[in-house]
Amino acid sequence: MRINKFLAELGIASRRGADELIAEKRVTVNGVLATPGTDIGETDTVMLDGKILSHKIKYEYYILNKPKGCVCTVSDEKTERPRKTVLEFLPAGAGKVFPVGRLDYNTEGLLILTNDGELAYRLTAPQNEIPKTYLVRIEGTITPNQLNRLRAGVEIEKGVITKKCKINVIETDKKYTKMHLVLTEGKNREIRRMFEVVGKHVDFLKRTKVGELTLTGLDRGACRKLTPEEIFYLKNL
């Protein structure tokens, strides 16, 4: 098993985060500094910051209805006044897990947290095109031409064009418009930036589904373990 996958499956960090730990020379295998290409087996001794890591992995899976006003990181040390993180909503006794993908500070909704690096990769890898559904509310109305531009893909920065997406208007009047939007990718602040391209401001954004997994019965800020059936479903998306 590749060392970054091993660290991700232990819930130490995502694969990218594991690569950063390796680059910082904090990981050794059998007393030798690990490299991104290091493979390990069950008999190898892996250490992080001088502490031996167990090969025994107990996977945990949670679903959170993320509220606004918190960040999807393990810690928020880059700001002078650290903000609340999504880990603070986990139930007592939860193990070391990390968020799968990100919802920005002012975005609400469905967030999965786990220490299963393989599942996290499956759900976030762009080539897998896992559909994620959002409730979007914008100020004012939107024209059919603007909707078609968004559906076809727009350039949100030089050379970066969004993939085709599905958008359906579900409610509208002169003050606001509500839509369901389905994406199969997850660029930084993608939806807000998409609407900015067509001159519209998103004033509410909530992820409501990952595949067919929903937030049914889960209040804002509430968190629970995924059921075995839900875990099986996500692993087979």
Q: CA angle, corner 22, sides to 21 and 27, nearest 5?
A: 90
Looking at residue 5, what is its pLDDT?
A: 85
Output the pLDDT for position 81: 74
Supply 137's token pair.
């509310």
The set of residues, in sequence order, having a beta carbon less than 8 Å from that of 148 and lying 6+ positions away, is none
Whether 54 has a pLDDT exceeding 80, the answer reads no
| pLDDT mean over 171-189 | 93
Neighbours of 27 (CB within 10 A): 24
Residue 10: per-residue pLDDT:
77
Tell me the C-alpha distance between 113 and 62, whole Å: 5
Closest-CA residue to 17 (of 121, 95, 105, 108): 121
Task: Give me the residue spans of the domains in the chain.
Answer: 3-52, 61-127+213-235, 131-210
Percent pLDDT > 70 in the chain is 97
| Tens digit of each residue's pLDDT (9 = 90 or more) over 185-221 | 888 899 999 999 999 999 999 999 999 999 999 999 9
- Poorest-confidence range of 11-15, 57-61, 87-91? 11-15
Sequence letter at residue 225: K
pLDDT at 12 (0 to 100): 78
Q: Which residue has the higher pLDDT, 152 or 57?
A: 152
Look at the block and give the residue holding tokens 């990981």. 27
Rounded average pLDDT over 151-174: 94
pLDDT exceeds cutoff 90 at 26: yes
* CATH, domain 131-210, list 3.30.465.10, 3.30.70.1560, 3.40.50.2300, 3.10.150.10: 3.30.70.1560
Q: Strand, helix or coil at 160?
A: strand
pLDDT over 80 (residue 119): yes
The stretch 32-58 carries a mean pLDDT of 88
Active site residue 49: no
Q: What is the token pair recorded at 197?
A: 């391209």
Fold match between domain 3-52 and domain 61-127+213-235: no
Looking at residue 76, its pLDDT comes to 66
Q: State the CATH architecture for 3-52.
A: Roll (3.10)
User: Average pLDDT over the chain, rounded to whole?
Assistant: 91
Stated pTM of the model: 0.77
- Out of 104, 116, 173, 219, the active site residue is 104
User: Rounded to whole angstroms, how far apart are CA atoms 114 and 225?
Assistant: 10
**Spatial separation of the C-alpha atoms in residues 73 and 77, rounded to whole Å:** 10
pLDDT at 77: 63
Nearest to 68 by CA among 212, 203, 210: 203
| CATH 3.40.50.180 for domain 61-127+213-235 | no
